[in-house]
Amino acid sequence: MFTQAPPQLGNQYRDDPLLGGWLRRTLPVDVYRKLEEELDELGRLAGGDLYRLQLADRLNEPVLTQWDAWGRRIDEIEVTPLWREAARLTAQHGLVATAYERQHGRYARIEQFAKVYLFHPSTDVYTCPLAMTDGAARTLLETGVRELIDRAVPRLTSRDPATCWTSGQWMTETTGGSDVGRTETRAVADGEHWRLFGRKWFTSAVTSQMALTLARPDNNPPGGKGLAMFYVELRDAEGRLNGLRVDRLKDKLGTRKVPTAELTLDGMLATLIGQPRNGTRAIEPMLGVTRMWNSICAAAFMRRGVALARAYATRREAFGERLDQLPLHVDTLAMLEAETWGAFLMAFQLVELHGKLEAGEIDDEERALLRLVTPLTKLATGKQAVATVSEVVESFGGAGYIEDTGLPQLLRDTQVLPIWEGTTNVLSLDALLRADFHAGLAALLGRISTAVFGLNDMRLAAAGRQAMAAVERAALWMDSGQDDEVLQAGARRLALSLSRALQLCLLCEHGQWLLDEERDERGLAAALRFARQPVDLMHDVDPALDRVLLGP
Ligand SMILES: Cc1cc2nc3c(=O)[nH]c(=O)nc-3n(C[C@H](O)[C@H](O)[C@H](O)COP(=O)(O)OP(=O)(O)OC[C@H]3O[C@@H](n4cnc5c(N)ncnc54)[C@H](O)[C@@H]3O)c2cc1C
């Protein structure tokens, strides 16, 4: 009887020429050599034991037990076996710690995220609590509040699985996740501390030991400025809940291994961090970090999907040929590969800039670029990941739709990436309407023209000029006196055009390096293929016509 051959995953580090090549280009030789051994180990795990465990663990989900046998409220959550293994491995490999040990200065973030990139797709989104843990450590360090830093940061950045902590971020309420200024949770002063009363509507990784959250001190004005940032620990030293109830775990489309809860805060003891106002500003470092995680995880899911699709294409036959010999299937896979390269390079550029910022080695232009590309990278890679993984599912035909191949879960888990940490629209507006947008745009143009200037290959130079032209046209549109409604309506297309132009430029730059240094034409092929896909997405906006279309 005929049986289908499942796709085989190999070592996810060795099988990914993009990651290795980019690291060789970016890191000093000694740093690269030192890191490579660990990446090799993680790549082996990610394509081997962890991947097998993930498939075997498919039906397990976290379980919330609200009461014990004697009527005590306990709200304990048991996570899945893979999550327990992931917690151990990520601590040992320092998936958060590497960024704070900073053994190699500004390269620390690159080292960290190379590991995250390999680890993420085989661990059922355990990267969600890790991202918030990293964000919380960064945010606490920026506040300068010594007592909290001394208590929490060593635990958040520990490599010891037995004692390390993870953190949550509790912002979204029923009134809004994008519009956090409408937060209803009250903060009431209680001696040196505060008590929080309210309902947090989406709190992922509620198994964490601590969280950073927003609440409104009584008598503060409405809006984001009237909110303050608080530090909370979920349980006391005896393990009793700290004035909170876990009402239920969400029944979600994807990320089902992540225990995302609805919480009631009923007098939760909290410590105010900094001033009793401007909390939305105070928590911004958290978002800068979690958006970077989101971007790398998007590229990592794309890489996993394409790795599976390519592996399958070498084994499955149709019409007497292997799929990888059929021209249209090859065309489809090449498109996915090029998108993956673009997303990867943009995400790792963000990481590189972040590393420079934290090491104090960033100049003004790079700082402006970092501020602009943080929302752009998150939004662009999130969209690319969903489109790519959806196409990957189709590339398996009917098998892609079957649960125990693991492919539907990959698509469902990917679908969260454009939603949490800011939706595509919200981030597009965030990028476009911020006061320093023009400084960011100038820095982006500068970055692209420097890259284009260094391109010797004629084909890459032409593609680089295409990227430049897209950014120039977007800049022109911004400066042509559009009214606010038109600007808002066009923000997503503008954000995506800038992002795709940057990706194309980074592809050309990397393609040139691969040609020059490693005589490898894959980067050239990725850049030229990407250039043939839509880059400049700008077109005229007519909000009045859209209203006609949506009207009664
Ligand atoms: C699995 C999961 C886990 C989560 N975990 C957490 C967590 O741990 N902590 C936490 O705080 N939150 C968490 N969230 C919440 C998440 O961050 C929010 O759902 C998200 O930010 C969107 O907010 P919202 O749900 O209120 O949507 P809304 O803000 O109501 O958005 C609805 C739609 O309107 C669009 N929109 C909103 N404003 C504008 C505008 N001005 N212009 C144009 N379009 C607009 C949005 O793009 C979106 O498409 C989680 C969400 C999910 C799905």
Q: What pLDDT does 355 receive?
A: 98
Nearest CA to ligand 1 atom 14: 202
What's the 173 CA to ligand 1 centre distance in angstroms?
10
Strand ranges for 228-323 from DSSP E: 228-233, 244-249, 261-272, 317-318, 321-322
What's the 474 CA to ligand 1 centre distance in angstroms?
27
Out of 127, 172, 232, 550, mutate this one to test ligand 1's pocket (max ligand atoms within 8 Å of CB): namely: 172
Compute the average pLDDT of residues 295-312.
97
Summarize pLDDT for 449-471 with one digit per residue, the tens: 999 999 999 999 999 999 999 99
429 lines ligand 1 (CB under 6 A): yes
User: Which ligand 1 atom sits closest to the C-alpha of 169?
Assistant: 9
Out of 200, 420, 424, 541, mutate this one to test ligand 1's pocket (max ligand atoms within 8 Å of CB): namely: 420
Q: What pLDDT does 8 receive?
A: 86
pLDDT at 23 over 90: yes
169 lines ligand 1 (CB under 6 A): yes
What's the 290 CA to ligand 1 centre distance in angstroms?
14
Tokens of 411: 């698509």
423 lines ligand 1 (CB under 6 A): yes
Q: Read off the pLDDT band of 435 (50, 70, 90).
A: confident
β-pair partners for 137: none
**How far does Cα 413 stand from its chain's mean position?**
12
Tokens of 48: 């081997």
Q: Which residues contact 387 (CB under 8 A, 6 or more apart)?
A: 339
Q: What is d(CA 478, CA 494) in angstroms, rounded to the nearest whole number?
A: 9
More confident residue, 481 or 493: 493
Tokens of 141: 């360090």
Q: Read off the pLDDT band of 481 (50, 70, 90).
A: confident
3 burial level (CB within 10 Å; 0-12, 13-18, 19+): exposed
What's the 314 CA to ligand 1 centre distance in angstroms?
40
Q: What pLDDT does 480 receive?
A: 86
β-pair partners for 450: none
54 lines ligand 1 (CB under 6 A): no
Nearest CA to ligand 1 atom 29: 178
Q: What pLDDT does 433 receive?
A: 86
Q: What is d(CA 300, CA 16) in angstroms, rounded to the nearest whole number?
A: 11
* CB distance 309 to 392 below 8 Å: yes
Q: Which residues contact 16 (CB under 8 A, 6 or more apart)?
A: 43, 303, 307
Q: Which residues contact 405 (CB under 8 A, 6 or more apart)?
A: 6, 396, 399
Q: Read off the pLDDT band of 523 (50, 70, 90).
A: very high
Q: What pLDDT does 177 receive?
A: 84
In three-state secondary structure terms, 104 is coil
User: Which ligand 1 atom sits closest to the C-alpha of 423?
Assistant: 47
Q: What pLDDT does 205 receive?
A: 78
Q: What is d(CA 233, CA 116) in angstroms, rounded to the nearest whole number?
A: 26
What element of type H or E holds 449?
helix 437-453
Nearest CA to ligand 1 atom 35: 425
Q: What is d(CA 531, CA 529) in angstroms, rounded to the nearest whole number?
A: 5
Q: Which of 349, 340, 425 is nearest to 384 (CA)?
A: 340
422 φ/ψ sector (left φ>0, alpha ψ -120 to 50, else beta): left
Exposure string over 423-442, b if 16+ CB within 10 A, otherwise e: bbebbbbbbbeeeebebbbe
Nearest CA to ligand 1 atom 7: 203
Q: What is the DSSP letter of 58?
A: T
What's the 382 CA to ligand 1 centre distance in angstroms?
14
Average pLDDT of the residues of the chain:
96
Q: Which of 517, 518, 476 is nearest to 497 (CA)?
A: 476
Helices (H), 316-363: 327-358
Out of 124, 178, 424, mutate this one to test ligand 1's pocket (max ligand atoms within 8 Å of CB): namely: 178
Q: What is d(CA 456, CA 223) in angstroms, rounded to the nearest whole number?
A: 52
231 burial level (CB within 10 Å; 0-12, 13-18, 19+): buried
Instruction: Quote the longest CA-to-CA distance of the chain.
Output: 78
* CB distance 216 to 183 below 8 Å: yes
User: Which ligand 1 atom sits closest to the C-alpha of 250?
Assistant: 1
326 burial level (CB within 10 Å; 0-12, 13-18, 19+): middle
Q: What pLDDT does 505 receive?
A: 98
Nearest CA to ligand 1 atom 41: 426
- Give the position of tokens 């896979």: 333
**How far does Cα 1 stand from its chain's mean position?**
44
489 lines ligand 1 (CB under 6 A): no
Summarize pLDDT for 99-123 with one digit per residue, the tens: 999 999 999 999 999 999 999 999 9
Q: What is d(CA 304, CA 291) in angstroms, rounded to the nearest whole number?
A: 20
482 lines ligand 1 (CB under 6 A): no
Q: What pLDDT does 2 receive?
A: 72
Q: Read off the pLDDT band of 78 (50, 70, 90).
A: very high
Q: What pLDDT does 3 receive?
A: 74
Out of 173, 426, 493, 546, mutate this one to test ligand 1's pocket (max ligand atoms within 8 Å of CB): namely: 426
How many Å is the Cα radius of gyration of the chain? 24
Q: Which of 165, 248, 266 is nearest to 207 (CA)?
A: 165
What's the 202 CA to ligand 1 centre distance in angstroms?
10
83 lines ligand 1 (CB under 6 A): no
260 lines ligand 1 (CB under 6 A): yes
Compute the average pLDDT of residues 534-545.
91
Q: What is d(CA 27, CA 363) in angstroms, rounded to the nearest whole number?
A: 19
208 lines ligand 1 (CB under 6 A): no
User: Which ligand 1 atom sits closest to the C-alpha of 260?
Assistant: 3
The residue type of 205 is A
Summarize pLDDT for 232-275 with one digit per residue, the tens: 999 999 999 999 999 999 999 999 999 999 999 999 999 999 99
Q: What pLDDT does 6 receive?
A: 84
Q: What angle do CA 97, 370, 352 make, to 5 degrees?
A: 45
User: Which ligand 1 atom sits closest to the C-alpha of 168?
Assistant: 8
Q: Is the dihedral of CA 148, 151, 156, 159 positive or negative?
A: positive
User: Which ligand 1 atom sits closest to the C-alpha of 178?
Assistant: 29
Q: Read off the pLDDT band of 540 (50, 70, 90).
A: confident
pLDDT at 4 over 80: no
Q: What pLDDT does 479 receive?
A: 87
Q: What pLDDT does 299 receive?
A: 98
51 lines ligand 1 (CB under 6 A): no
Question: Residues, the chain, total?
Answer: 552
252 lines ligand 1 (CB under 6 A): yes
374 burial level (CB within 10 Å; 0-12, 13-18, 19+): buried
More confident residue, 481 or 396: 396
Q: Which residues contact 383 (CB under 8 A, 6 or more apart)?
A: 418, 424, 496
